[in-house]
Amino acid sequence: MNNLFTELKRRNIFRVAGMYAVVGWILIQVAVALESSMKLPDWFDSMVVSLIMIGFPIAILLAWAFEMTPEGMKRTESVADGDSISGQTGRKLDFAILGGLVLVAVLVVGSRFIPHDMAAPDAADVPEVPEVIAQAEPVEPEITDEKPSIAVMPFEDFSAGKDQEYFASGISEELLNVLARIDGLKVSSRTSSFAFKEREASTGEIAEALGVKHILEGSIRKSGATLRITAQLIDTSNDQHMWSETYDRPLTAENLFAVQDEIAAAIVAELKGRLSIGETDTADRTASLEAYELYIRARDQAQKRLPDTLNAAVEGYKQVIALDPEFAPAYAGLGVAYLLMEEYTTMLEEESIRLAKPFVDRALELAPNSAEALTAAASLALQESKIQAALDFTNRAIAANPNYVLAYHRQGLTLGSLGQTEQALAIFQKALQLDPLSAVLLGNVGAYQERVGDIAAARATHEKNIKYNPNSTHGYSMLGRIKHNDGDYIGAHTLLKDAQAINPESTTALSQLLQIYGDVGLFELAEPLTQTPEDKGVLYVLSGDLEAARKIVAENPDTARYAAYLLGDAAAAYPGMRKFTNQANLLASPVNSNFASFMAAMAMVFQDQSDPDGQILLAKLDAYFSGKTPADFTNDEFLFSAGLLAVANGQAEQVLPWFERMADLGFAWAGVENVKFPGTSELRQYPKWLEIEKRLNENAAKHRALIEAQLANPKPNWITNE
């Protein structure tokens, strides 16, 4: 044995093996880099590794059998002892191995600091943004604390078929969810991070827009039963890599979750500070790879919030539950999908609640401490008008996961329903720090900025929403409402038709289009857009079909409240208005551009029905309009409500300046002569009022002609077959 060892050493076998290992490792790293950068087939790096492994015993055999001499390569047995230069060759190999090890060290250290650019999307893939909106300066979030912060970018799909984008996005989102449980780490939410998926932007631009100090990016490659996940952590202050790693694993659900946990642990180690990862509820994970893939596909569909994608999400979640009946996130996701259908499809609220409830209850049963399940429960409670329960659920969800942005969103909606407008806005803005580009959150922030009277800020927020979310209806619908209230019917109509093109079943866009068509007298276009008996009743009044309106009111006493009011039937309007006041907590709400005219109408009805809350509403409106004149307003909602307030106070002559101001500013009210709300009979004794009615109808005719011309030459994306 000693003689064998001595002979192996003399023939430099150990040195050759060491040199081969160093060179082989370098070649493998080069192969991996070439495969990613040059989009080579999945088998390329595997082939290189296999060839290197096959070559190893060949190299050892050659080193044993042959030796270099001054005359060239000779078989070892043919070399006389005096002619051997194996010692010199050994020293050269030593120097070569040392040099190779230095190169290895340089490559290992350098990989942490050399930027690895992710593939940028083609310019053609970036969605077109309306020119005027694209020039608007975004309202950037501020980093309000010094704790570590991170955004997880959508991972690239490097699979050969390029058919795993949903899977890559799902892995990114799951990583985000794991990181969100790290105590002391601020994590930007999915919708904001993914807004850059099809937008070319630098690391610095992304960091500034999202308000984060670190970015996690990476890629996935699926090939048969194997998976490669590459992740890299970037310090946005200098665009340098802090950490990167590649994980090659057999494709199983268990391995996927293990890699996610390993990446989270590595990030905690790199960011240091006082960070700790919270425990994962076992009900939040599934052992079925098929269920997991179906789940992330369904979740991706639900987040698009369109009728067809919500229906696809429902079917997907059902398949997940069939495969794994204990997987809580699938139940929560299915429940929320049904609840979203009330707003984004034609499904009625009662039906969405009925369908959602058993799945939300099951999610809570399986994972009572899951932020996702608790937030789903809050959504259901809010839709059922169980306000205190909704508030309790959101508090528990935030305690379970302080980075779960949907919990803050639901809490903001809950506070808003309690009439706590400023508190709701503060919560929405806090959520916006976690998810600064979310279409839904930007929509809510803008809406509540309107409610507190900051219309300029609301307009900027909605413009930002359109810029960053051109495929979402929220920015278009809400900016359209502002333009409508300001008398810009054409501008509002353009935005709302764009919203309708994005989602033909968006209840918000359709209801506002219905209102515009009703205002200008396009009743034949308005009628197909009616969604409720109330809508039909109001339209019948304005078009002069009072008998049909009375029939709607008689058949729907709890919902056709405003139609009854326009008919002058306070007794019929009262039950529905009383119920709505309780649900929306309007007695606690400030006077704002959303509810001002409705508050005035309710005050009149309550006063007629001897309800003491009528005096509370009148006092609130009196305080708001005290000392103000029609010249102080350009918004028709406020002008109209101030006019109704004068009617309710029995000051008929003081009504006229408010409605005259509406006519002067070009506001439209087609069919005003048909309305019979309390006090109109007295108003019609004034020639000035009859003149105002005529001017409001003339304004309607002007706007009607402009909209008809617009519809005769529609934008290519518009839906014209109402």
> pLDDT tens digits, residue range 418-442?
888 899 999 999 999 888 889 999 9
Residue 182 in this model has a pLDDT that exceeds 50: yes
The per-residue pLDDT for 171 is: 79
The per-residue pLDDT for 278 is: 52
Confidence class of residue 35 from pLDDT cuts 50, 70 and 90?
A: low
Whether 617 is in a domain gets the answer yes
**Cα→Cα distances 577→259, 295, 316, 556, 587, Å:** 56, 42, 40, 13, 12
Residues 560 and 698 both lie in one domain: yes
* DSSP per-residue letters across 19-36: HHHHHHHHHHHHHHHHHH
In angstroms, the CA 621 to CA 290 distance is 58
Q: Which of 165, 171, 139 is nearest to 152 (CA)?
A: 171
Q: Parallel, antiparallel, or unpaired for β 149-152 and 186-187?
A: parallel
Residues 104 and 145 both lie in one domain: no
Residues 244 and 151 both lie in one domain: yes
490-513 average pLDDT score = 94
Query: What value does the CA radius of gyration of the chain take, rounded to a whole number of Å?
Result: 34
The per-residue pLDDT for 9 is: 65
In angstroms, the CA 79 to CA 89 distance is 14
**Residues 6+ away with beta carbon under 8 Å from 532:** 559
Residue 141 in this model has a pLDDT that exceeds 70: no
In the three-class reduction of DSSP (H, G, I as helix; E, B as strand; rest coil), residue 591 is classed as: coil
In the three-class reduction of DSSP (H, G, I as helix; E, B as strand; rest coil), residue 350 is classed as: helix
Whether 323 is in a domain gets the answer no
As given in the structure block, the two tokens for residue 259 are 């890699």
The range of the structural domain enclosing residue 643 comes to 556-702
* Cβ(207)–Cβ(199) below 8 Å: no
In angstroms, the CA 683 to CA 687 distance is 9
**Residues 6+ away with beta carbon under 8 Å from 429:** 445
Residues 100 and 53 both lie in one domain: yes
Residues 72 and 173 both lie in one domain: no
The per-residue pLDDT for 126 is: 32
> Tens digit of pLDDT for each residue in 59-68?
777 766 666 6
Q: What is the CATH number of the domain that holds 148?
A: 3.40.50.10070
* Cβ(280)–Cβ(264) below 8 Å: no
HSE (side-chain half, CA atoms, 13 Å) at 155: 28
Report the range of poorest mean pLDDT among 2-6, 314-318, 532-536, 578-582. 2-6
Residue 240 in this model has a pLDDT that exceeds 80: yes
Work out the angle at residue 595's Cα, subtended by the Cα atoms of residues 593 and 600, and round it to the nearest 5 degrees. Answer: 110
503-537: burial string, b at 16+ Cβ within 10 Å, e else: bebbbbbbbbbbbbbbbbbbbebbbebbeebbbbb
In angstroms, the CA 52 to CA 46 distance is 10
E strands, 303-431, in order: none
Torsion from C-alpha of 365, 367, 368, 372, nearest 10 degrees = -120
263, 280, 297 - which closes a domain: 280
The per-residue pLDDT for 482 is: 95
Tally: H helices and E strands in the chain: 33, 10
Biggest alpha carbon–alpha carbon distance for the chain: 132
For residue 280, the 8-state DSSP code is P
Residue 49 in this model has a pLDDT that exceeds 90: no
Count structural domains, the chain.
Answer: 3
* Cβ(216)–Cβ(238) below 8 Å: no
Whether 451 is in a domain gets the answer no
In the three-class reduction of DSSP (H, G, I as helix; E, B as strand; rest coil), residue 615 is classed as: helix
* DSSP per-residue letters across 104-155: HHHHHHHTTTS--PPPPPPGGGSPP--HHHHTSPP------S-S-EEEEPPP
As given in the structure block, the two tokens for residue 316 are 């997907």
**Cα→Cα distances 66→6, 72, 525, 611, Å:** 17, 10, 93, 109
As given in the structure block, the two tokens for residue 494 are 């353009």
E strands, 266-379, in order: 276-277
> Tens digit of pLDDT for each residue in 242-279?
888 888 888 887 877 788 778 877 877 777 654 555 55
Whether 633 is in a domain gets the answer yes
In angstroms, the CA 252 to CA 721 distance is 49
Residues 193 and 78 both lie in one domain: no
Whether 412 is in a domain gets the answer no
The per-residue pLDDT for 132 is: 33
| Placement of tokens 């005359």 in the chain | 71
* DSSP per-residue letters across 505-561: T-HHHHHHHHHHHHHHT-HHHHGGG--SHHHHHHHHHHHT-HHHHHHHHHH-TTT-H
Q: Which of 26, 247, 110, 241 is nearest to 34 (CA)?
A: 26
* Cβ(496)–Cβ(516) below 8 Å: yes
In angstroms, the CA 489 to CA 664 distance is 15
> Tens digit of pLDDT for each residue in 386-410?
999 999 999 999 999 888 899 999 9
Residues 44 and 162 both lie in one domain: no
In angstroms, the CA 314 to CA 359 distance is 11
Report the range of poorest mean pLDDT among 189-193, 259-263, 358-362, 436-440. 189-193
228, 257, 280 - which closes a domain: 280
Torsion from C-alpha of 630, 631, 635, 640, nearest 10 degrees = 10
Amino acid at 324: D
Whether 578 is in a domain gets the answer yes
Confidence class of residue 145 from pLDDT cuts 50, 70 and 90?
A: very low
* Cβ(255)–Cβ(249) below 8 Å: yes
For residue 156, the 8-state DSSP code is E
Whether 602 is in a domain gets the answer yes
HSE (side-chain half, CA atoms, 13 Å) at 289: 11
In the three-class reduction of DSSP (H, G, I as helix; E, B as strand; rest coil), residue 157 is classed as: strand
Whether 74 is in a domain gets the answer yes
Higher pLDDT, 83 or 666: 666
User: Please, what is the end-to-end C-alpha distance for the chain in angstroms?
Assistant: 93
Residues 222 and 100 both lie in one domain: no
Residues 169 and 66 both lie in one domain: no
In angstroms, the CA 504 to CA 722 distance is 10
Residues 88 and 187 both lie in one domain: no
> How many other CB atoms are there within 10 angstroms of residue 162's CB atom?
9
Residue 37 in this model has a pLDDT that exceeds 90: no
Residues 262 and 162 both lie in one domain: yes
**Cα→Cα distances 186→212, 295, 397, Å:** 8, 25, 16
Three-class SS of 407-459? HHHHHHHHHHHCCCHHHHHHHHHHHHHHCCCCHHHHHHHHHHHHHCCCHHHHH
Residues 69 and 165 both lie in one domain: no
Confidence class of residue 152 from pLDDT cuts 50, 70 and 90?
A: confident
> Tens digit of pLDDT for each residue in 438-454?
999 999 999 999 988 89
